[in-house]
Amino acid sequence: MAEFGRAVRRYRDQVSPEAAGLPAGGRRRAAGLRREELALLAGISVDYVTRLEQGRAANPSGQVVEALARALRLEGPDRAHLFRLAGLDPPGPEAVPTHIPPSVLRMLDRLAGTPVAVSDASWTLLLANPPYAALMGDPSGWRGFERNGVWRNLVGTGTRVRHTPEARRDFEVALVSELRVTADRYPADLRLQRLIAELRARSERFVELWDSGAVGRNEGSRKIVDHPLVGTLELDCDVLTVAGSDLRILVYTAIPGTEDAERLALLTVLGTQALVG
């Protein structure tokens, strides 16, 4: 993996903080990203980035390589080259797309003060900015199926969003229905097949909804979020789609001039400071 590590280091040296959506932060010994900045952007530990660059970490997963390529703003041949250096084939059209185009990343850079998360078509979290992490909890430690929204809500510990029983039913129907549509669209995606098999094995509710053919759609709505530091927030959650990429972008906003807006602004500042520190 020595060549993979050298490539990561070379690409890291070529990406300026500004190009990656980060502040330059005063004097720097080099123009590129620091290791800790790359780790933050990719959602992996600094120690792991160090071991990868030094050739001491073998067989990085496709998710890790995709996260690094995304953080390094790699596109086209460079992205494919990084996958091949890791001993992996670049994801083909039969797989659920996980690539976030640089144009979308630049758009997210402009929303630095707004909680935003990006998921793929199976509702697996790909990217969450610091305000989202402050609002919903830091997802950087989530691994495997923990990063999937269907799994978290039907098998895992859930989220900070509070649902009425009726809203909860509608939400579960929408999640499972959209996952079924995605499975029909990408029948050869092995990772998606494993997710569905595990959901069937672990959740009776999933089996009930999947086998019933329930139909629904996870659209934007008002969300009540119970936060351990600032209390309850009532926010608008809009779900945006990106044409040609099959991504889902979740954006949380508050009505200006309300207590919810004040709490969200406070939470964003406190959370961002905590993450950066």
**3-class DSSP state for residue 117?**
strand
Cβ atoms within 10 Å of 168's Cβ, excluding its own: 14
**Burial letters 41-80, b for 16+ CB under 10 A, else e:** bbbbeeebbebbbeeebeebebbbbbbbbbbbbbeeeebb
Considering only the top CATH level, what class is 2-85?
A: mainly alpha
Q: What value does the mean pLDDT take over residues 242-271?
A: 90
Provide the pLDDT for residue 25.
Answer: 61
Name the CATH topology of 102-276. Answer: Beta-Lactamase (3.30.450)
38-42, 93-97, 271-275: the lowest-pLDDT one: 271-275
233 near 264, Cβ under 8 Å?
yes
Provide the pLDDT for residue 276.
Answer: 38
Instruction: Give pLDDT tens digits for 184-216.
Output: 999 989 889 999 999 999 999 999 999 988 777
Per-residue pLDDT for 136 more than 60? Answer: yes
DSSP assigned state of 218: -
Extents of the domains making up the chain: 2-85, 102-276
DSSP string covering 162-189, please? E--HHHHHHHHHHHHHHHHHHHHH-TT-
Distance separating alpha carbons of residues 277 and 175, to the nearest angstrom: 35
Fold identical between 2-85 and 102-276? no
Predicted confidence band of residue 17 (pLDDT cuts 50, 70, 90):
confident
Computed from CA positions of residues 125, 163, 151, 226, in that sequence, does the dihedral angle turn out positive or negative?
positive
